[in-house]
Amino acid sequence: KQEVTQIPAALSVPEGENLVLNCSFTDSAIYNLQWFRQDPGKGLTSLLLIQSSQREQTSGRLNASLDKSSGRSTLYIAASQPGDSATYLCASRGSGSQGNLIFGKGTKLSVKP
Amino acid sequence: GAVVSQHPSRVICKSGTSVKIECRSLDFQATTMFWYRQFPKQSLMLMATSNEGSKATYEQGVEKDKFLINHASLTLSTLTVTSAHPEDSSFYICSAEPPGTVYNSPLHFGNGTRLTVT
């Protein structure tokens, strides 16, 4: 059974700092891995999706990497801003018939001005 | 881009009553929708997969008679929490994806429903 773990659970950084969020998964037989942002009391916004055949994806100040062999993914945020404050979730998608997402518990990021 | 609308955003109900939550795909047809539940400081946990025109598939430990799912059209799935108890208080989120994407595109999520059972 797939398990997804995110470290750290919470992170506080000053504005402008570059940071890395970590995600690990136990079963490397994934179809893709997706990073989401969740604001308090809100739904999820998709940030980046990395297919199992890919190593990384970039969107603006965000870069996500994937290493299937080690069961790890990272989300790199450059030049952080207070507006980046949110909970960041990673989720692996299996290759089974349903292909549902398995989520980590998230990393709560606070960027202080 | 694809948009998923969820209603209501918040609901407070008394113990023993039933609550219906709607999930709509606004600009695409969704043959499959997913229902998740999120307790404070916990992961989103898949409750069930809603299939248009057929019965929903429930995850282990989720009572199908308590959490009724109806996916009567390609743009609407509903989740009804029957005989709600305080322990059902949680954040419920639905997601959907356009058909034919074969997992290549990200799932689109609603804004969630905060259910409080008193």
In a 13 Å sphere around the CA of B117, the CA atoms on its Cβ side amount to: 16
Closest to A49 (Cβ–Cβ): which among B45, B93, B106? B106
pLDDT category of residue B8 using cuts at 50, 70 and 90: very high
Other residues' Cβ atoms within 10 Å of the Cβ of residue B104: 11
| Predicted pLDDT of residue A98 | 52
In chain B, residues with a C-beta closer than 8 Å to the C-beta of A106 are: 43
The conformation of residue A98, written as its DSSP 8-state character, comes to: S
Give the up-direction half-sphere exposure of residue A9: CA atoms within 13 A in the CB hemisphere.
4
Percentage with pLDDT > 90 across chain B: 64
**A43 at the B interface (CB within 8 A)?**
yes
Q: Are A26 and A94 in contact (CB under 8 A)?
A: no
| Average model confidence (pLDDT) across chain A | 92
β-pairing verdict for B10-13 and B113-117: parallel
Give me chain B's average pLDDT, please.
Answer: 89
C-beta of residue B116 within 8 angstroms of C-beta of residue B87: no
Q: How far is B87 from chain A (nearest CA, A)?
A: 18
Distance from CA of A39 to the nearest CA of B (A): 10
Residue B50's Cα: distance from chain center in Å? Answer: 8
**How confident is the model at residue A101, as a pLDDT?**
86
pLDDT tens digits, one per residue of B40-88: 888 899 999 988 888 899 999 999 999 999 988 889 999 999 999 999 9
